[in-house]
Amino acid sequence: MILRPRSRIALAGDPFDRSAHQRANADWVETAAAADSSVFLAVQGSRNLVSEESPARPALLGPPAAGALATAAHERILLGLRDGRAYFALALPADGSEPPAGYAWRDLRWIGAELGPDDAAMLAYARGMAVWHWRHRFCAACGAATRPVDAGHARRCVRESCGRRHFTRVEPAVIVLVTRGERCLLGRQAAWPKGRYSTIAGFVEPGESLEDAVAREVYEETGIDVAECEYRGSQPWPFPASLMLGFRATAASGEIRLHDEELEDARWVSREQLAAGEVLVPPSFSIAYDLIRDWYEAAPGADLARDVREGVPTWRPEDGRG
């Protein structure tokens, strides 16, 4: 398939010029942060600051409004430039800071479907960076503390004998819709709401190609052999740090055999069964929904949003740290 810089998949449309060449320029960063036009997005633990009303909107705070939060923040991270204005994320401890009047701390997984593409993408970016900093406060090489450098896009060990730099990382995971004839393969975990099914997914292992990971995950979870697969798109999934790599695959076998305890059930599902409500599909801001939609709407006149119910998000209440 042809890859393009912007995507219709939720969370995937980066609205920023990330200005990576300016991150090591401390004078430029400080000047940008002090400008009246600068914008701050606050993250408390792993919860974004958004408007109280529904649908939620990001809290885009100028310097005066962000003052108290900026003081409480343990990190300030340059996100980039948008329309000539510098945007920063403020990473605050998981508890302690009350939101400004008219705003609330909300989990992006609960409000993602309410947001426009750019709003969702900028909140995902801010959340991902804030959680990364929380999880990398100590050096993996020697155990000493680390401090932020490069406008928050890296951390350095404070121990002189070590000094190792730690860079932001994402964890690649494959997610795949497997088809056989006019049916697709969906599975469910026991913790999900009744009737909720989704596509097959799992993390890529060391020394493994993406295609091999697709075949392994599908076989491990369902016993289905994959004949071939096609890349369909990707989605940043900052819960806490995944990059979901979406595939469509064709099955070489049809008998489902659950090999591990990952899934409670798996089944072949037709478009008619989806439309009849026999299973609920994932939330619409997930790449799983997008993969199912592309397959479902290949039939003339089919419209997933019109025809099929979504399953409610299943995320457990957080400890605020992702």
Does position 24 have pLDDT exceeding 70, yes or no?
Answer: yes
In this prediction, residue 218 carries a pLDDT of 97
In this prediction, residue 72 carries a pLDDT of 94
Structural domains in the chain, sorted by start: 20-135 (3.90.79), 171-307 (3.90.79.10)
What's the average model confidence in pLDDT over 215-221?
97
Dihedral, CA atoms, 250, 206, 136, 167, nearest 10 degrees?
A: -90
Does position 320 have pLDDT exceeding 60, yes or no?
Answer: no
Q: What is the pLDDT of residues 282-293, one digit of tens each?
A: 998 999 999 999
Contact 89, 130 (CB under 8 A): yes
What does the mean pLDDT of the chain come to? 92
For residue 121, give both structure tokens: 């993408």
Does position 322 have pLDDT exceeding 60, yes or no?
Answer: no
In this prediction, residue 82 carries a pLDDT of 97
**Beta strands in 152-251, from DSSP E residues, in sequence order:** 154-157, 165-167, 171-180, 183-188, 200-203, 226-237, 242-251
In this prediction, residue 317 carries a pLDDT of 41
Residue whose token pair is 């899934």: 263
Q: What is the pLDDT of residues 255-273, one digit of tens each?
A: 999 987 889 999 999 999 9
pTM: 0.91
Q: What is the pLDDT of residues 87-134, one digit of tens each?
A: 999 999 998 788 999 999 999 998 998 999 899 999 999 999 999 999
What's the average model confidence in pLDDT over 229-236?
95
Contact 51, 57 (CB under 8 A): yes
Residues 6+ apart with CB under 8 A from 212: none
Taking the C-alpha atoms of residue 123 and residue 130, their distance in angstroms, rounded to an integer, is: 11
In this prediction, residue 1 carries a pLDDT of 54
What's the average model confidence in pLDDT over 54-78?
95
